[in-house]
């Protein structure tokens, strides 16, 4: 009882301090946590809509969540810059996005390679400033059917793709957005950042690292017009869930 009371008190203090500093913005999950802990907020039930974004860049956009986000955001006036390792699905996706009135360009980029993320961001920016950058690229690895965890080589590639590339892309874009005076970064993390999977330790570590980076970056940019959002999805029906043994 005493331990639970102390943990709850600490959680309430953390929630209150984050809200006071304007950092309590992982909504709606963070808003729901604030309410559950009894921390008063000045947010309405309907989260205010941001200024419409016109130039949108998405990593890991050829399939899964990345493609779904592009389809949801597509409309006349939107220009997409998309990248993924496998560009085969892009032709069909681009057709759908153009049918919705959007402009589309895409490239094959292996973000696990050193310097690839930074180079892609700069190439995209040269063609037009990025209003919204969705850092979605990621791979999943863990225990296979044989019961063995990922090898060190696979773990290194996973961290390079899921965490290192997101950090370098975010820092590159942030510098450009600050000079421009506006911009929005969205980091796609995972609930695994809070509940690590015993069968996917490297993946869990990559997402925990991404969440920590995004929150720290957001705090450092609080006095600027550059926004940082971190999203924590649960399981989504995709290739990842198909290969996750559990």
pLDDT of residue 53: 57
Model pLDDT for residues 79-120, shown as the tens digit of each residue = 999 999 998 999 999 999 999 999 999 999 999 999 999 999
Q: Which is more confident, 215 or 40?
A: 215
Q: Which is more confident, 238 or 209?
A: 209
pLDDT of residue 21: 40
Residue 106 among the catalytic residues: no
pLDDT of residue 144: 72
Model pLDDT for residues 69-84, shown as the tens digit of each residue = 999 999 999 999 999 9
CB atoms within 10 A of CB 233: 12
The pLDDT of residue 238 is above 90: no
Contact predicate 122/177, CB 8 Å: no
The token duo for 226 is 């550059």
Residue 40 pLDDT level (bands cut at 50, 70, 90): low
Nearest C-alpha neighbor of 109 from the set 98, 118, 99: 118
Q: Which is more confident, 141 or 22?
A: 141
In degrees, to the nearest 5, what angle opens at C-alpha 168 toward C-alphas 204 and 107?
95
The pLDDT of residue 14 is above 70: no
First-last CA distance in the chain: 32
Model pLDDT for residues 121-157, shown as the tens digit of each residue = 999 999 999 999 999 999 988 877 777 888 899 999 9
| The one catalytic residue among 24, 120, 140, 203 | 203
Q: Which is more confident, 34 or 90?
A: 90
pLDDT of residue 48: 38
| Sheet order of strands, 79-84 included | 103-108, 79-84, 55-59, 132-135, 183-188, 226-231
pLDDT of residue 146: 76
């Amino acid at each position: 009882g005493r331990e639970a009371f102390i943990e709850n008190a600490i959680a309430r203090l953390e929630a209150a301090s984050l809200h006071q500093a304007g950092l309590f913005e992982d909504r709606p999950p963070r808003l729901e946590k604030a309410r559950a802990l009894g921390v008063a907020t000045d947010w309405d039930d309907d989260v205010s809509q941001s200024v419409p974004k016109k130039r949108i860049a998405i990593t890991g956009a050829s399939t899964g969540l990345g493609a779904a986000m592009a389809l949801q955001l597509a409309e006349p006036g939107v220009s997409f810059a998309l990248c993924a390792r496998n560009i085969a699905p892009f032709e069909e996706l681009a057709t759908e996005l153009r049918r919705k009135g959007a402009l589309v360009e895409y490239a094959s980029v292996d973000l696990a390679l050193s310097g690839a993320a930074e180079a892609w961001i700069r190439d995209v920016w040269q063609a037009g400033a990025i209003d919204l950058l969705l850092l979605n690229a990621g791979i999943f690895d863990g225990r296979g059917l044989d019961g063995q965890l990922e090898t060190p080589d696979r773990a290194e590639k996973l961290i390079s793709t899921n965490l290192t590339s997101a950090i370098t892309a975010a820092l590159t874009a942030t510098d450009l957005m600050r000079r421009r005076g506006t911009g929005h970064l969205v980091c796609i993390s995972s609930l695994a950042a809070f509940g690590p999977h015993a069968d996917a330790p490297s993946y869990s570590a990559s997402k925990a690292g991404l969440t920590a980076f995004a929150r720290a970056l957001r705090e450092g940019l609080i006095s600027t017009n550059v926004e940082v959002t971190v999203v924590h999805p649960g399981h989504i029906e995709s290739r990842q869930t198909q290969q996750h043994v559990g």
